[in-house]
Structure 1
Amino acid sequence: MTKLVAVTACIAGIAHTYMAKANLEKYAKKNGVTIKVETQGAMGIENKLKPQEIEEADAVIFAVDTNVAERDRFNGKKIIEVGTSEVVKDGATTIQKAIELGQK
């Protein structure tokens, strides 16, 4: 089974951060994929990814409109970076791209 991790973060750190998280989780579930999503919003880092979760992930999704805090945790991983609005509009495509990247 494909394992993904993701970070979502928008400029304001409110709506799009959490809408992107919800869409990633929805489409991961529809595709039978395990995903854990860390949010970096107005409340700071929530649902912080553990080092082991990052290590075990086949691919990483950055659905962000700003910088990823502690980005060096993901060094050496296969990463897809998209804007939060892209994931809100079409989360299915982002999940599919991440699955394909993780299988390479």
Structure 2
Amino acid sequence: MKIAAVTACPSGVAHTYMSAEALQVAAKDQGYECHVETQGQIGIENRLDPQYIKDCDVVILTNDIGIKDEDRFKGKLVLRVKAGALIKQSSPILHKLAEKLGC
């Protein structure tokens, strides 16, 4: 499974980066490719490549706060998850997602 994700939280600090790291670790542990863009207090970091977005199977967006440039994901399968849920439950979330996608 190829995952594109954007994490953001209202303060743009801890949860933005903690959820990105948790998702990347869970994806690696399960053998999935995952690129995460963070939209934190210092702006957008690790901006997702348009070709990667086009090629990915799913887009995971945190829904604690509005995501900038969300129109890039039009036509893609999008899963919205709270940053706290990604921090605590990234592995089960990816497992269920993989089951639904048949990966």
TM-score by length of 1: 0.92
Instruction: Please list every run of 5 or more consecutive structure 1 residues that lacks an aligned counterpart in the other structure.
Output: none
Alignment partners' CA distance in 2, 1:32 and 1:49: 20
Instruction: Please list every run of 5 or more consecutive structure 2 residues that lacks an aligned counterpart in the other structure.
Output: none
Overall identity of the aligned pairs, in %? 41
Alignment partners' CA distance in 1, 2:87 and 2:62: 9
What is the aligned partner in structure 1 of residue 34 from structure 2? Answer: 35
What is the aligned partner in structure 1 of residue 49 from structure 2? Answer: 50
What is the aligned partner in structure 2 of residue 17 from structure 1? Answer: 16
Alignment partners' CA distance in 1, 2:59 and 2:69: 14
The verdict on how the C-alpha distance between 1:103 and 1:51 changes in structure 2, with shifts beyond 3 A counting, is farther
Matches within 5 A, 1:53-64: 53-64=52-63
What is the aligned partner in structure 1 of residue 97 from structure 2? Answer: 98
Alignment partners' CA distance in 1, 2:38 and 2:100: 22
Residue 5 (str. 1) matches residue 9 (str. 2): no
CA contact (8 A) 1:59 1:102 kept: no
User: How many residue pairs are counted as aligned between the two chains?
Assistant: 103
What is the RMSD of the two structures over their aligned residues, measured on CA atoms? 1.4
